[in-house]
Structure 1
Amino acid sequence: MSDQNVELRKAGLKVTLPRVKILSILESDPDAHMSAEDVYRALIEAGEDVGLATVYRVLTQFESAGLVTRHNFDGGHSVFELARGEHHDHMVNVDDGTVIEFTNTQIERLQHEIAEQHGFDLVDHSLVLYVRKK
């Protein structure tokens, strides 16, 4: 049984050809942040016959099942990345849209401190820095 089949079953999803193909595209570059249109174009380039509506539906199912994380960076469209269970933040280059992942223990600690100062426990967060090369 393929890795994709195992992942889909573990996530509680039925193994279908479109799901396997889409998961395979996402796994081909695990650091990528792909829109539904990016996934669709990759499928077309690979000679696969999967419609754009199917791609949207499957990505939403993957998000609900915890296989992917959806981000809404600048520009209003969603991008998806494989959920690897490791927290990280993002920088988005405003000139070319490149997404850079990073982690920083000082930032993480400071966010917890700020939440505590206001009487809260931090349960989750999303940090996106919009950057430009000097």
Structure 2
Amino acid sequence: MSETIIERCAARGLRMTEQRRTVAAVLEQANDHPDVEILHARASAIDPRISLATVYRTVKLFEEAGILEKLEFGDGRARYEDAEREHHDHLIDLQSGAVIEFVDDEIEALQDRIAERLGYELKGHRLELYGIPRKRSRS
């Protein structure tokens, strides 16, 4: 991924206000899967004039333009990540809510084999695993 979120917004003809630029910059720096409230907290730390409503509208605009991907992990919170990030899957910790990104070559190959066996060429997928940490035995 070579272009920034702001560059992709410009390429899609989106009007970029200073507040939208701030939200885009916050998203660009995110290494997690923030929801709108977290994005608002981060953006308002940079520009206190940014309202929660502005962040909601900006995220919706970016999602509709294919710049952001909306993720829903069953906890009632929509989270977001850059739609052009490198492919990865997610493991969601049901106790803490942490979202762990991973790539597994065996899973990728298995999905390709399944699609081929069923007569399809795989063009994409989304894998979400849900779990709780295993208790470690005390030795």
TM-score by length of 2: 0.83
Q: Tell me: CA distance 1:93–1:69, structure 2 relative to 1, closer, same or farther (3 Å).
A: same
Q: Are residues 1:46 and 2:46 paired?
A: yes
Q: Output the CA distance in 1 between the equivalents of 2:133 and 2:6.
A: 41
Q: Structure 1 stretch 83-92 or stretch 3-12: which is displaced more? A: 3-12
Root mean square deviation, CA, Å: 1.8
106-115 vs 36-45, which moves further: 36-45
| 1:16 corresponds to 2:17 | yes
* Whole-angstrom distance in 2 between the partners of 1:85 and 1:34: 15
Structure 2 counterpart SS, 1:123:
coil
Please list every run of 5 or more consecutive structure 1 residues that lacks an aligned counterpart in the other structure. none
Structure 2 alignment gaps of length 5 or more: 135-139
Structure 1 residue 47 displacement after superposition = 4.3
Moved over 6 A (4+): none
Distance 1:105 1:22 in 2: 34
Percent identity for Structure 1 against Structure 2: 34
Quote the residue 2:137 is aligned against: none
How many residues align? The count is 131
User: Residues of 2 paired with 1:102 and 1:7: CA distance?
Assistant: 25
Deviation at 1:92, TM superposition (A): 0.8
